[in-house]
Amino acid sequence: MIEFRKVESESTFLDPRKGFAPTTVRFQVRVDPLTGRTCHFSHFGAIKPQKLDLAGYHDPAVKGFCPFCPEHREKATPRFTPDIVPEGRLTQGEAFIIPNLFPYDIHSGVVVMSDDHVVGLRELTRERLRNAFALGIGFLRRIAATNGSLPYHLMTWNYMPPSGGGLVHPHQQYFATAHPGNQFMDELSASQRFAERYRQNYWYVLARREAADNERYIARLGSGHWMASFVSLGLLGEVMCVFPEVFSLDDFTDDDIDDLVAGLERVFRYYEDAGVFSFNASLSFGPSDQEHFSCYFRIVPRTFLNTRDFAPDLNFFQAILSEPICVVLPEDLCREVKPYFK
Ligand SMILES: [Zn+2]
């Protein structure tokens, strides 16, 4: 049912580093078993995440004006309209949700995750993570209750500047939308086709198959199956957590949040040791009336290629060709992450 297709290939050139002797370099193209989308794997080990100067983000000249810092929130951040959130804004612990001043969709909520402006991975504590996810998901449930015409729900997260995050102050974005993006829609429609063809849920079959193959499967924590994705959307590899029994927002319980957070903490410990300072992440939910598209969480490290001219880690491949490239084989990434889940 699921085919993990790799096209292995090589390129030969006369290498100036070896007196122009012929040198052959291998690379792979992998095909996503669900969507058929491809990803190039090459340049192995050539790109290392760059260290960020977190203390430097406190420097007033670098920091600038931060609307998310507690002293500015009241005046500088928007409030929801009373039909959506009568309270205007909502809080849970340190987490604080407001509308996005620059909305990408009809309902676009921003969860500010902390009072502190600069929060390293170690300070993204279980408590802070749990409160942020619970508050954001609670917000999406409110939207779902008032506007059933927006079937898709997602959390997206840029952490630290290399990820494209405009503010260092940690925050997540929560959307209720009819247009969740091309990747989401491709996976949704391919999941439906898979279910029609095989009478089974792709994500359930994937989790079972990855666990059996044990090449990319990291661990099961409660309801979540953690794995290194066969096709990575990130340059430095992608870790994914699939919740096969969760189809829509309604199915995602507080226990699921705890399971997600427990895994995320382990990924963060790995990131700390691997020198990862920045990432993009998402959590996706399908419509409420189906059982073919399961919830998943996806996280990819981000880095500047260097801190001399701050070249970004995305290039024409992603920007123009919509083709991910990855310099880490998922099987190697899995081997590195797995000890953190023991
Ligand atoms: Zn701030």
133-142 tens-digit pLDDT: 999 999 999 9
pLDDT at 193: 98
How far away, in angstroms, is 169 Cα from ligand 1 center? 5
Does residue 105 register a pLDDT over 90?
Answer: no
Strands (E), the chain: 5-15, 21-31, 38-41, 90-92, 95-99, 107-112, 152-159, 171-177, 217-221, 224-228, 239-243, 279-285, 295-301, 325-326
How far away, in angstroms, is 218 Cα from ligand 1 center? 35
Q: Average pLDDT, stretch 92-114?
A: 94
168 touches 64 (CB < 8 A)? no
Residue 127 — very low, low, confident or very high, per pLDDT cuts 50/70/90?
very high
Q: Does the reported pTM lie above 0.95?
A: yes
Q: What domain range includes position 112?
A: 55-312+328-341
How far away, in angstroms, is 172 Cα from ligand 1 center? 14
pLDDT at 148: 81
Mean pLDDT of all residues in the chain? 96
pLDDT at 300: 98
Residue 184 — very low, low, confident or very high, per pLDDT cuts 50/70/90?
very high
How far away, in angstroms, is 110 Cα from ligand 1 center? 13
At 19-38, the pLDDT tens digits run: 999 999 999 999 999 999 99
How far away, in angstroms, is 326 Cα from ligand 1 center? 32
Report if residue 27 sits inside a domain. Answer: no
Q: 309's torsion region: left (phi>0), alpha (psi -120 to 50) or beta? A: alpha
Report if residue 117 sits inside a domain. Answer: yes
pLDDT at 221: 98
Report if residue 13 sits inside a domain. Answer: no
How far away, in angstroms, is 195 Cα from ligand 1 center? 45
Report if residue 155 sits inside a domain. Answer: yes
Report if residue 142 sits inside a domain. Answer: yes
Residue 176's closest CA among 246, 241, 103? 103
Report if residue 65 sits inside a domain. Answer: yes
Report if residue 294 sits inside a domain. Answer: yes
How far away, in angstroms, is 84 Cα from ligand 1 center? 26
Residue 147 — very low, low, confident or very high, per pLDDT cuts 50/70/90?
confident
**Tokens 């100036």 found at:** 16
Does residue 85 register a pLDDT over 90?
Answer: yes
At 284-299, the pLDDT tens digits run: 999 999 999 999 999 9
- Residue 42, number of CB atoms within 10 A of its CB: 15
pLDDT at 146: 87
How far away, in angstroms, is 40 Cα from ligand 1 center? 37
Report if residue 11 sits inside a domain. Answer: no
Q: Average pLDDT, stretch 150-179?
A: 96
Q: Average pLDDT, stretch 92-106?
A: 93
Q: Average pLDDT, stretch 128-157?
A: 95
How far away, in angstroms, is 116 Cα from ligand 1 center? 7
How far away, in angstroms, is 78 Cα from ligand 1 center? 15
How far away, in angstroms, is 117 Cα from ligand 1 center? 4
Does residue 104 register a pLDDT over 90?
Answer: no
pLDDT at 82: 94
Based on the structure, what is the number of domains in the chain? 1
Question: Using CA atoms in the order 82, 112, 160, 252, what is the torsion angle rounded to 10 degrees?
Answer: -80
pLDDT at 38: 97
How far away, in angstroms, is 69 Cα from ligand 1 center? 4
CATH number at residue 272: 3.30.428.10
At 250-288, the pLDDT tens digits run: 999 999 999 999 999 999 999 999 999 999 999 999 999
